[in-house]
Amino acid sequence: MKFLLGVIVGILICFLFFYFGGGKTVKKFGEGLTDTGKRMEILEETIRKEKEEVEKGVEKGVKKKIFKEEKEIQKRSQ
């Protein structure tokens, strides 16, 4: 019963594939995915660069804050 159902579903999928254009449709779909992939790579690269810039800014801010706190502690101890 399951085998027969699998064969029927396979035939239906094959029919729909040819009905909607077959190889041409797959080619169009693939080109669209390629364009989307290129855009995603650009976005990932941009996000990675911005993340690094933010991390550098945070590190500088933390270092400045620690330096100021150390100065305040030294002034208090004198």
User: Which pLDDT band holds residue 7 (cuts at 50, 70, 90)?
Assistant: very high
Residue 64 has a CB neighbour count (10 Å cut-off) of: 10
Q: Three-state SS string across 9-77, please?
A: HHHHHHHHHHHCCCHHHHHHHHHHHHHHHHHHHHHHHHHHHHHHHHHHHHHHHHHHHHHHHHHHHHHHH
What is the predicted pLDDT for the residue at 77? Answer: 63
pLDDT digits (tens, 9 = 90+) for 17-72: 888 777 777 777 778 888 888 899 999 999 998 888 888 877 776 666 666 666 66
